Amino acid sequence: VYELRFLDLRTGEELPDRIPRTAGGCAWADDRTVFYTIKDHTLRSYKVFRHVLGTDAADDVEVYHERDEAYSCDVYRSRSDRYVIIDTESTLTSEYWLLPTDEPLGEFRVFLPREEGHEHSIYHHPGGFYILTNWQARNFRLMACGEDDSNDRSKWLEVVPHREDVRLEDVDLFRDHLVLSERREGLTHIRIRRLSDGKEHEIGFKDPAYVTWTGTNPEWDTHELRYGYTSFTTPQSVYLHDMNAGTDTLLKQQEVLGDFDAGNYTSERTWATAPDGTRVPISVVHRRDVALDGKAPLLLYGYGSYGISMEPTFSIARLSLLDRGFVFALAHIRGGEDLGRAWYEEGRMEHKMNTFTDFIACGEHLIKERYADPDRLMCMGGSAGGLLVGAVLNLRPGLWRAAVAEVPFVDVVTTMLDDSIPLTTGEFDEWGDPKEKEAYFRMLSYSPYDNVHDVSYPALLVTTGFHDSQVQYWEPAKWVARLRDHQQGDAPIVLHTNMEAGHGGASGRFERLKEIALDFAFLIGEARN
């Protein structure tokens, strides 16, 4: 929860206006009128207010109220500076409301009434809008409409068609250029189109596994695109791309202290085969002097939920593992959108078990292809990735030497039955509503807490934060208690509670590094035992 304060940039004077208990962030209409959101008791952003500088915040006007508990809202200003836009979304549905910035006291109008399952994003351009939409396009397509035609989809025109093998993820719109962020075979590509003649070019990247994204580009009238790039072996970098000339300039790269040499490390991609025959990509990194002879300890990381793709990013902390001879692998399992929208759909709701069997298949593949010592294969995940860890430990406890589950969502049924807990109602599209019989038993079949049994579990470190509002501390705590009751082996099951932290872990750089050190020390110790 944040308090908004205001500074006059011309004089440096702080204005007397104070707006308490906001969700943080705001959107300006003109130089006197600002819009902001507030949260309810479940931390859902649900109301938008208008504040006029110089007036009492107690008199601010409510301009939007999201009454559906499955939705949360935000407010922002279009890059064209023409509109203030309210964005309200559930997991699988979105809706937008518009207000011209030159009418700050006016009424918002809906861009297109919400339709369950219709996800879209809008981008204003003089004379109309571009719409990134999944309407009749599972992997999304780009369409355009006139300023007053948003409510009539028969008047929308296709700009970029739907493709079964390419997920259109994001759009950046400038006065003269259209920038498309597309995911193909798990990797993001940036394609740039000149609006005047449709001429295109793509930014090239050299690493076999990498991630790129368009950065903060607030300017509308510019030919320069700021984008980020990183890989397992390339520190996070920011580039400036000239969209006219097609050239790149490195602006900044993350500094790595010590004797780091990217040439000492190598990355690659390999593909596992799931039980149903689906090929699952895995990104791998290790030191060049580590022989892939089946004798190296390997840490396999995964998530597999909410359509969130796992990206092969650079990590300074991870060097500590790599320099000790570890191989690190990232499993791009179903439930994310690594290979498109279908990849997500095949890893949620009634298909959730695919997430877990994909991950197990990745572990087995890494052993078979001699990336990993079969006696030193370890796994790790956080939040919904902690659910993944808990599920695969129940399904294949003997496959893993050790595991780390960070702030794990492990008591699925109980949590989803309690709609007073933050996020629960918004999660029904992901897991199902356990008040429905079929969904209840489906969730019960994989919920880690409900499937603990008498078996020899591997060494396990479970971390939680006492102030975690998303996965309350008692959830991993009671899971650990049940695991200890059923543990048939001698491997330790450790619970670490940070009494000062929330869902994101410790705040502050050094406190966060201490948490990472705890995770790594646990894994290194198990690799040596």
Element (H, E) at 156: none
Q: Helix and strand tally (H, E) in the chain?
A: 9, 30
* Residues 26/15, Cβ–Cβ less than 8 Å: no
Is 45 part of the annotated catalytic residue set? no
* pLDDT over 90 at 507, yes or no: no
Element (H, E) at 389: helix 384-395
Domains detected in the chain: 264-528 (3.40.50.1820)
* Residues 362/337, Cβ–Cβ less than 8 Å: no
Q: Which tokens sit at 433? A: 């509503």
* Residues 460/492, Cβ–Cβ less than 8 Å: yes
Angle at 416 between CA 413 and CA 422, to 5 degrees: 145
Residue 505's pLDDT band (cuts 50, 70, 90): low
**Length in residues, the chain:** 529
Catalytic residue from among 172, 358, 503, 519: 503
Is 503 part of the annotated catalytic residue set? yes
Backbone angles phi, psi at 226, to 5 degrees: -95, 130
At 395, is the secondary structure helix, strand, or coil? helix
Dihedral angle of Cα 427, 429, 432, 436, to the nearest 10 degrees? 110
**pLDDT per position as a tens digit, 15-69:** 999 999 999 989 999 999 999 999 998 889 999 999 999 999 999 999 999 999 9
CA-based radius of gyration for the chain? 24
**pLDDT per position as a tens digit, 461-487:** 999 988 776 777 889 999 999 999 999
**pLDDT per position as a tens digit, 85-112:** 999 999 889 999 999 999 999 999 999 9
Is 41 part of the annotated catalytic residue set? no
Residues 6+ apart with CB under 8 A from 437: none
Catalytic residue from among 231, 305, 383, 447: 383
Backbone angles phi, psi at 381, to 5 degrees: -170, 160
pLDDT in the model for residue 449: 97
Any idea which residue has 């409409």 for tokens? 145
Residue 506's pLDDT band (cuts 50, 70, 90): low
| Mean pLDDT computed over 160-172 | 96
Predicted structure pTM score = 0.86
How many beta carbons lie within 10 A of that of residue 221, not counting itself?
Answer: 8
Helix ranges (H only) for 396-436 are 412-417, 428-431
Mean pLDDT of the chain: 94
**pLDDT per position as a tens digit, 149-165:** 999 999 999 999 999 99
Residue 501's pLDDT band (cuts 50, 70, 90): low
